[in-house]
Structure 1
Amino acid sequence: MKRWGNMARVFTRLGKEIAIAVKSAGPDPDSNSRLRVLMQNAKAANMPKENVERAIKRATSREMDDYKEIVYEGYAPYGIAVVVETATDNNNRTVANVRSYFNKAGGSLGTQGCLDFLFERKSVFKIKNSDSIDIEELELELIDFGVDEVFVDEDEVIIYGAFEAYHKIQTFMEEQGIEIVSGEFERIPLDQKEVTDEQRESIEKLLDRFEEDEDVVNVFHNMK
């Protein structure tokens, strides 16, 4: 049941991200590069094709709720920085929930941008690894497009690049016929804080509360 619950939350979040992408640049994946990658993300998450089509259709209809992307920043107990990315049609509800989660855990919600100095935003792509891909050559080519790290993780190649280079990296790989498994943005902590096992357990309970909220898309922290 927990697995199905997690899948439902992933599908809901992807649906919101797809809707926001469609609202921003239209429903045609050929001309909407962000939508193209989100459709790949949905495929990688085993999200049914009908769900994707429904999200696109809803985004182009007048009945579609106006989802907005809002970022909340604060501190969990023991000084752990937490960034919560949301997609919501009701900011009052979402901010009340986020503040409540922080307060009940003994943390605090901060002002927007207060944690910018602790995290670096990155574009992150995953592609399928194959014998036809020369990793060193690919990395050399991608450096010109804003990539700073390429490494192999089992049957996937993970590519980290500058936040603003997302579109350039995506376009290059598509032009080279490289299949993108997923593409997203991450906030990488510039420094990580050590915690005890007991402290970790307390902080993870708070992170779980965020993850369980349907308005939350991503959660990032600097706990080691």
Structure 2
Amino acid sequence: MGRAFEYRKAAKMKRWAGMAKAFTKVGREINIAIKEGGPDPDYNPRLRLAMNNAKAVNMPKANIDAAIKRATDKDTSAYEEVTFEGYGPHGIAVFVEATSDNNNRTVASIRHAFNKYGGSLGTNGSVDYMFVRKGQFIVKEENFDGDLEELELELIDFGLDSIEKEEDEINFYTAFEDFATLRDELEKRKIEVAKAELIRIPTHTKKLTDSEVDDVLVLIEKLEEDDDVANVFHTMDDSE
């Protein structure tokens, strides 16, 4: 009984930690969006997306409103989007996206993680060319009742690259430069987007042994634990 209780307690703490991390991430998305386009979501598409992403991770409305108020009341120039590039164990390229209000702290933390867990922090451009930047819009299948094939043909004119179904979700992909165009068209068609983000897809991947995969995952997990880190992309082949 005691061991089971401790397991449930540890699992609950892990869930809370994950939720806190997600809330921090979307809170900073809101901050950056307001810095870019102001606090009115009716006139700021990026803020609307940030608010949607907040709802997707079950952030309460009161927390969303508080994040908007904080970003509006203070100097929103505090947070900046920064990126880091390097290599993890076994030659795996790693690209890190972060939002920081103290660049020196963030650089030191990211460099420490790379050095401690078998990687090396590189310079800007050292691995960027290994990734293609795409926009991704996730729609819950239960919230879509139209003809997907017909919609795919219609959305090509608005920058759609492809549509992929995965379990109970429909993923819409677009080129980075067409992100805003497809976003606006999905809004116009009243297609409910559960989450929207810019991602980096590797142009090639590297297959590793199980033990090598574990080495890389340790670095990725340590990077993702950093409050400043928003996303970590890599070239490891993680298919089954």
1:146 corresponds in structure 2 to 159
Q: CA deviation at 1:63?
A: 5.7
Cα distance change on mapping 1:173 and 1:63 into 2, 3 Å? closer
Output one character per residue of 1:28-71: Cα deviation in whole Å (capped at 9) or x when no partner. 11110011111111111101111111111111113657000000
Higher helix share: 2
Q: CA deviation at 1:177?
A: 1.4
1:158 corresponds in structure 2 to 171
Residue of structure 2 aligned with 1:88, choices 71, 79, 100: 100
RMSD after superposition: 1.2
Matched, 1:48 2:64: no
1:120 corresponds in structure 2 to 132
Matched, 1:16 2:28: yes
CA contact under 8 A between 2:98 and 2:231: conserved in structure 1?
A: yes
Residue of structure 2 aligned with 1:174, choices 187, 199, 219: 187
Count of residue correspondences:
224
1:191 corresponds in structure 2 to 204
Identity of aligned residues (%): 52
Output one character per residue of 1:115-163: Cα deviation in whole Å (capped at 9) or x when no partner. 1210000000011325631111111111111111102223321101101
TM-score, normalising length from structure 1? 0.96
| Distance in 2, Cα, partners of 1:164 & 1:222 | 22
CA contact under 8 A between 2:35 and 2:76: conserved in structure 1?
A: no
| Distance in 2, Cα, partners of 1:155 & 1:207 | 27
1:57 corresponds in structure 2 to 69
Tell me the SS of whatever aligns to 2:29. helix
TM-score, normalising length from structure 2? 0.90
Output one character per residue of 1:2-50: Cα deviation in whole Å (capped at 9) or x when no partner. 1110110010011011101011100111110011111111111101111
| Distance in 2, Cα, partners of 1:52 & 1:158 | 25
| Distance in 1, Cα, partners of 2:120 & 2:99 | 21
The runs of 5 or more residues in structure 2 that have no matched partner are 1-12
- Structure 1 segments of 4 or more deviating over 3 A? none
Matched, 1:136 2:149: yes
1:212 corresponds in structure 2 to 225
Output one character per residue of 1:179-219: Cα deviation in whole Å (capped at 9) or x when no partner. 11111000000101011111111111111101110000000
Tell me the SS of whatever aligns to 2:214. helix
Q: Which has the larger radius of gyration?
A: 2
Residue of structure 2 aligned with 1:37, choices 49, 73, 76: 49
Counterpart amino acid of 1:124? Q
Cα distance change on mapping 1:133 and 1:13 into 2, 3 Å? same
